[in-house]
Amino acid sequence: MELILIVIAGAALAGFVQGLSGFGFSLTSMSLWAWTLEPQLAASLAVFGGLTGQVIAAVTVRRGFDAKLLAPFVLGGLCGLPLGLYLLPRLDVVLFKALLGLLLIVMCPAMFFSARLPRIRGGRAGDAVAGAAGGVMGGLGGFSGVVPTLWCTMGGLDRDTTRSVIQNFNLAMLAVSFASYVATGITTRAMLPLLAIVAPAMLVPSLLGARLYLGISEAAFRKVVLGLLTASGAAMLVSALPVLLARS
């Protein structure tokens, strides 16, 4: 019962964050699930939940589709995805928590302060590299939108254009990631009951977040969410480092 409650809480909170901001399902859900779930189960739930959220967003928050702008991100992502899929089954729980904690304490502050960073527009090559990084992180647990979101913001793209790119990129990466999880056995039949819990648990919070996105500024919300995720990442890293140091 405790496991079910943890899955529901992570899915509901992450669904709301993703509905409002267009990213962050895996970051938010993993900040809860990584404490108690083993990496392959947590990654499967996060990718499935993120994919469900992106399908909902595609219907409720439409921001256009620029194939020319999106293509380098997707092509890069497809190149990077196999590396993430290769690494995931080889991570143990402690190493997984350490890497996730490090990711949170580095990327969340970077995403928060991205508006103040120097503007960099690396053209299609830069978009492809950002997409490749997103593909690797997507294979590791559905974190596909983190680097591309930061890259688009640093490139000076407006909010709606960034949302359009990330929404469609995540939809493509998460669909391929989940299909690959199933094909390679990362996602198993035993996970089906928990997968069935994730979708309804995140549905209403995701719709609520998407509705709020249409009418309010997300700056204050992002500040709170990214701050909490950073704190969670720091806690995970602190708890995992002594074990890793003892092993070495």
Domain boundaries, the chain: 2-237
Q: Are 162 and 213 in contact (CB under 8 A)?
A: no
Res 115: pLDDT: 64
Report the C-alpha dihedral over residues 113, 116, 121, 126, rounded to 10 degrees: -20
Report which secondary-structure segment, H or E, holds 97.
Answer: helix 93-112
Q: 188: alpha, beta or left, given left = phi > 0 and alpha = psi -120 to 50?
A: beta
Residue with tokens 């590396």: 83
At residue 225, the pLDDT reads: 66
Per the listing, tokens 């960034």 go with 162
pTM, rounded to two decimals:
0.84
Rounded Cα distance, 244 and 248, in Å: 6
Query: Which residue is associated with the tokens 């409650």?
Result: 5
Angle (CA) 206 42 245, round 5°:
130
Mean pLDDT split into 10-residue runs, the chain, 248 residues: 90 85 79 87 93 78 73 96 92 84 85 71 87 92 85 78 84 94 94 94 84 66 71 84 85
Can you give the pLDDT at residue 30? 86
Q: Which residues contact 20 (CB under 8 A, 6 or more apart)?
A: 209, 210, 212, 213, 218, 221
